Amino acid sequence: MTSRRKFMTILGGGVIVAAGGIGAWAATRDPAAGREPWQAAKALQAGTSSDPRIFALSHAILAPNPHNRQPWVAELSTPGEITLYFDTARRLPETDPYDRQLTIGLGCFIEVLAMAAAEIGHRAEVTLFPDGEPQPVLDDRPVARIRLVADDTVPRDPLFAQVFARHTNREAYDIARPVSAQTLDGIAGAARTARIAHATGAEDVVALRALSWSAMEIELRTRRTMKESVDLMRIGKAEIEANPDGISLGGPLMEGLSLLGMMNREEMLDPSSTMFSRSMAAQKVQFDTAMAFLWLTTPGNTRADQIAAGRDHVRMHLAVTGAGLALQPFSQALQEYDEMTGKYGDMRTALGIGENETLQMFVRLGYGPDTKPAPRWPLETRIRSA
């Protein structure tokens, strides 16, 4: 059993001084097995698979999605066709009660799939919700039927080159490096249907930092919404590799604290605890180092609008990556539960969202350190029989 004497921890400063064999132990704590699907997709060579659907799906499962829930399931019973379903066991009922954000994640999946198909000379013909749009939540009906049709004339998308470099970056951004409006104007051009706007001016950025943090505080201090995140935390290598989804807290610091009983989940939920206050302080750094903001709106809020928002969001994220920037969604003020209603209205007002528009995504930007890919379930776990 590892003893407390093995560690001297300064939480918040993020320092662990290792003693004895702990340094060697720390070097083994990378949950690399959880990232194997990224390597598997990289290893695929265009045209080498007898089934183009495998190439397309291997890349699609790398798409961004809320809380890394990976809510997609593919059925391949019809040759040349993919029927995409929502995995109803992967809901976020407290923070995403109408499955809007998860639907956006499915849109990201569809867009990356279509890009990958084009790389191997196939056109993705997408029919959304062929059995009707499920409301008020997603159900067992298909989200999309996607036919892959061989077509040598289909253009390759230059954004596809960023698929393996695109990662959500939750680290502190460089506050000495501003983000130019001109750069973001170019990124906004990646969207096909959604309206993308941005804020880069110092006064606007400071105001949006404060507003988005106040929304985050509501989520953290509302027990049921905070518990939803805490329940999805995977702390340390073993937990991450066993369940490569949810919120990964990897590395020797987090795992060491967990082994010492200092990452107690119940204390994470207790606003009076030291763990809660330190966690708050650690997360606020993300907000304090936001150097610009982008947001994405659609003219409506149908399921098709949400899918379109997801397709444009991942395109935007890939363009952000290509520009050398880092991105992290700040979704708290956009969430549709009672305690967030006031902040939802405040955010719409601050961003000048029109009466008939839906604010679908709001993200922070800046220049950040390199980060590793988020864990993913292997493709075979995301395919089901008819």
Read off the pLDDT of residues 357-379 as tens digits, 9 standing for 90 and up. 999 999 999 999 999 999 999 99
- Which of 283 and 250 is assigned the larger pLDDT? 283
Most confident stretch, 239-253, 255-269, 320-334:
320-334
CA angle 256, 261, 262 (to 5 degrees): 75
Q: Report if residue 141 sits inside a domain.
A: yes
Torsion over CA of 199, 204, 209 and 214, rounded to 10 degrees?
A: -120
HSE at residue 327, side-chain half, CA atoms within 13 A, is: 28
Instruction: Give the number of domains in the chain.
Output: 1
Give residue 378's domain range. Answer: 34-163+373-384
Q: Report if residue 208 sits inside a domain.
A: no
How large is the average pLDDT for residues 153-179?
98
- Which of 385 and 83 is assigned the larger pLDDT? 83
Q: Is 18 helix (H, G, I), strand (E, B) or coil?
A: strand
Q: Report if residue 199 sits inside a domain.
A: no
* Global pTM value: 0.93
Read off the pLDDT of residues 142-156 as tens digits, 9 standing for 90 and up. 999 999 999 999 999
| Segment holding 26, helix H or strand E | helix 22-26
Q: Report if residue 45 sits inside a domain.
A: yes
Read off the pLDDT of residues 18-54 as tens digits, 9 standing for 90 and up. 445 667 767 788 999 999 999 999 999 766 667 999 9
Q: Are 33 and 343 in contact (CB under 8 A)?
A: no
Task: Please tell me what DSSP assigns to residue 95.
Answer: T
Q: Report if residue 95 sits inside a domain.
A: yes
At position 109, the amino acid (one-letter code) is: F
What is the CATH classification number for the domain harbouring 150?
3.40.109.30
Instruction: Give the pLDDT confidence score for residue 66 in this predicted structure.
Output: 97
Q: Report if residue 102 sits inside a domain.
A: yes
Q: Report if residue 306 sits inside a domain.
A: no
Q: Report if residue 340 sits inside a domain.
A: no
**Which residue pairs, CB below 8 angstroms and at least 24 apart, start in 346-350?**
346/211, 347/211, 347/212, 347/215, 350/207, 350/208, 350/211
Q: How confident is the model at residue 255 (pLDDT cuts 50, 70, 90)?
A: confident
- Report the b/e string of 25-44 with b at 16+ CB within 10 A: bbeebebeebbebbeebeee
